[in-house]
Structure 1
Amino acid sequence: MPFNKNMVKISFAAFRRSVLYFLVGVIIFTGGYFLGVRGFKVQVENAKKINIVREIPPDKSNVDFSLFWKVWDTLSTRYFDKSKINQKNMVYGAISGMVSALGDPYTVFLPPNDNKVVNEDLSGSFEGIGIEIGFRGNQLTVVSPLPDSPAQKAGIKAGDFIVGIKDEAKKVDRGTVGISLPDAVKIIRGSAGTKVTLMLTRDESEKPIVITVERAKLNVPSVTLEYVGNVAHLRIIKFGGSTLAEWDKKVSEIYMNKNTKGIVLDLRNNPGGYLEGAVDIAGEFLKTGSVGVIEEDSNGVKTEFKTQRIGKLTHVPLVVLVNGGSASASEILAGALKDNKRAKVVGEKTFGKGSIQEPMDFSGGSGIHLTIARWLTPAGVWLDEKGLTPDIEIKFDENSKIDNQLEEAIKLLPNS
């Protein structure tokens, strides 16, 4: 259904890749994705005959697949437009439907092309508008725009509800009720120089906002460092494949600067990424062996992930900055530093993404992102849908010429 300005606002969570996969939520920088059940092998031969070879039979399953095959045969023999009958796509669609029946927006099946894109999603170089999307409740939402991205420059903000998407070149004009993350990503992402229009609503206004954004080629670093006087403003934009290498370089610069009196660790609008990266970076500030995060599986078994590195910055005064665009791995890092009483947290309540997804690849290039556990802060708090509340809450002043949140964080540091 096309979107229109009379569409009502519905409601607002994230999704992003990690080894214990966090916020797999599709970074629209370039991201995207999509029966064989686990233990089934799907083979397509010449797009005519399909063989499903069961490798591991369901345990005491009473499922009757006769209905599935009746519908399959009916579509294959009676559907009017035979050009639309593609058996491989039908299999992928059936698998996708089975996975989506769980009602978990973070558990998804991805055909080969989509899986390839997601696996490249954390590389740092991409084309798109530069936002990460997810769901809060059932409403497609902007988790965060990337710094200096086309999306941010166009005025898109963390927490915006996406109620409509339009791309004339793709001949798409639709609302987002019932849309999946993979489908939303396919529409929003695109080549540099092309445009996409988003209809947005915000908490403070029921009136829709229509913004057209031109996609661009972006190369976003994971870590940046600037000095404000003798305070290191250390920002982590995302937890990607190159983050730890970039982090080590910036930390070495701080370590060598004997005039550094304190650090502001800025996690604002950081949508997450690799869990291991978050715990490793926490170890830069905590004693070796400190609890960074707790994983709880479906049986209630809890596993502590502890810091292992010998931190270079364990005694440097520290304040952490967060906001509503801080999600997943960035919430883990902030929670670890807060619960271990290593730093004060300043800013606004975080996004609240508390589940863990594990990526699994199958033969042929397809894959699945599967929710396997939830994560808790070292104090045992589950932040899902609630977020982390800062020690000192301060709303960002968009009308100010200075960064009032950063200024407040610096004031908390001794001798700054």
Structure 2
Amino acid sequence: MHFTARKGCSMERAWAIIGKITQWVAVIAVAFLGGWITGRIVGVSPIDVFITGVSNADARLLTPGDRRQQFAVFWDVWDLVEGNFYQPEAIDRQRMVYGAIRGMLGTLDDPYTFFQEPEEARQNRESMEGRFEGIGAYLRVENGQIIIDRPIRNSPAEQAGLQPGDIIVAVDDQPLAELIAGLSDSDASARAVSLIRGPAGTVVRLTIRRPADDRVFTVAITRAAIPLITVNSALLPDGIAYIQITEFKASTTELLDQAIAELRPQQPRAIVLDLRNNSGGFLTTAQEVLGRFYDGIALYEEERGGVNKELRTIAAPADRRLYGIPMVVLVNGGSASAAEVVAGALRDERPNTTLLGEKTFGKGSVQNIYTLRDGSSVRITIARWITPEGEAINGVGITPEHVVPASNEAEYAAPCVPDRPAEDSCADAQLYWALKLLREGIAPPAATATVTAP
């Protein structure tokens, strides 16, 4: 979410959720980059603010005369192509326009300022509303193949037996490789999603190749409405509340309030807030989440022209607050954007709060996302953000006070929440040390906390 880009590997990964958003609410919000889009209305165009990339150099606005002069050469080339290219049937004017837009944005040397064609933009706009109709699986694009990254829990995809790493060979007997040939990863992902998703109650046939045993099989999956659960919680032994937030979607605050309503009567004495692999989401949601844990500054934005803007937490009802009690926030390299805002703000502003885990991703700039007249969108970096204590994290990330590498060695037994709640324990070094710190005041050994310089 969020595109958003799920963020930090050597190959370009295109992430998408298979599904069709149920239009149950019109979301008007400010958002952080996690690969997902929504909007607030400015004139007639939705605008979205996401956390990402770098830089917002000042520039002189062109007058109408300047624009005509600047674009004269562009139209000269356009006319030459129209009049002289030897295969006129190959001329696709829409692709030429979109290609020109991409080329223009590419000159800014900012990977977070980019253009999306209508179908991909629509999928991104829809994905943050939190309820889908489809099979319920996350996809990635790898080496020209569409791969199941993971099925959503209790989704039709999971119930049909789809597994992480499964390769989608065909959709309704249409070979997928042919349908996405020559497309970029993001366009291939958008194409696959448009083929696989559909209304609840309809059926899609997927031909799957499973690399683990090189087996090819076809499965018919009935699509369904799939709420995306972004908050998981439990009361662990010794009165420690565990809260995991996986993304900051429009529905996340309501889900967090439900979790707090269940936890508060049990009078937790400490909190583990798990933001690992949380790739971001809405800024307003991040501010609302922070408002459940303290009242104060959430972040500062440094805008074009050197203007600084203070953004505060959004207050929660008194019965939906967990103020004051000790907290450990778990983070890692998959914690990005809005997750970094929340982690940095809790560290800087909330008493008795400690970060533990691994250095975060480091997305520290802000974008506006403008929906254009044909449904396409352009994402433009307009500012950077810093933590309440003035730390700029873009490209650097946040290093927790207690650096603990991920480990599943048996010595780090901890309650299995939320992935395997039926089991008594599992290995999770970061959760193990968070609980040990809260229960016994024992921090991880210094040797564990070796930090590699960025």
TM-score normalised according to structure 2 size: 0.65
For residue 294 of structure 1, what is the aligned residue in structure 2? 300
For residue 3 of structure 2, what is the aligned residue in structure 1? none
Q: In structure 1, which of residues 191, 199, 202 is the aligned counterpart of residue 196 of structure 2?
A: 191
* Pair 1:239-2:261 in alignment: no
AA matched with 1:99: L
Structure 2, gaps ≥5 residues long: 1-8, 17-26, 39-44, 46-61, 142-148, 198-204, 411-425, 442-454
* Pair 1:169-2:173 in alignment: no
| Pairing 1:401-416 to 2, within 5 Å after superposition | 401-414=426-439
| SS of structure 2 residue aligned to 1:379 | coil
| SS of structure 1 residue aligned to 2:333 | coil
Q: Distance in 2 between matches of 1:82 and 1:175?
A: 20
CA distance 1:24–1:285, change in 2 (3 Å): closer
Greater CA deviation, 374-383 or 306-315? Answer: 306-315
Is this contact kept in 2: 1:14–1:25, CA < 8 A? no
* Pair 1:330-2:339 in alignment: yes
For residue 353 of structure 1, what is the aligned residue in structure 2? 363
Q: How large is the RMSD of aligned CA atoms in angstroms?
A: 4.3
Q: In structure 1, which of residues 37, 56, 67 is the aligned counterpart of residue 73 of structure 2?
A: 67
Higher-helix-fraction structure? 2
* Pair 1:111-2:117 in alignment: yes
1:379 offset after TM fit, Å?
1.0
Deviations 1:325-372 (A, max 9, x none): 100000000000001243101111111111111122233323222211
CA distance 1:273–1:26, change in 2 (3 Å): closer
Q: In structure 2, which of residues 403, 408, 421 is the aligned counterpart of residue 393 of structure 1?
A: 403
1:292 offset after TM fit, Å?
0.7
| SS of structure 2 residue aligned to 1:304 | strand
1:301 offset after TM fit, Å?
1.5
Is this contact kept in 1: 2:14–2:189, CA < 8 A? no
Q: Distance in 1 between matches of 2:82 and 2:150?
A: 44
* Pair 1:79-2:122 in alignment: no
* Pair 1:307-2:313 in alignment: yes
CA distance 1:389–1:371, change in 2 (3 Å): same
| SS of structure 2 residue aligned to 1:120 | helix
Q: In structure 1, which of residues 122, 126, 130 is the aligned counterpart of residue 128 of structure 2?
A: 122
AA matched with 1:191: I
1:100 offset after TM fit, Å?
2.6
For residue 228 of structure 1, what is the aligned residue in structure 2? 236
Q: Distance in 2 between matches of 1:75 and 1:175?
A: 22
1:195 offset after TM fit, Å?
7.1
Deviations 1:96-121 (A, max 9, x none): 32223222222122333222111112
* Count of residues in Structure 1 that have an aligned counterpart in Structure 2: 351
Q: Distance in 1 between matches of 2:109 and 2:28?
A: 21
Q: Distance in 2 between matches of 1:301 and 1:13?
A: 35
For residue 374 of structure 1, what is the aligned residue in structure 2? 384
| SS of structure 2 residue aligned to 1:253 | helix
Give the percent of matched residue pairs that are identical in Structure 1 and Structure 2. Answer: 33
| Pairing 1:14-25 to 2, within 5 Å after superposition | 19-25=29-35
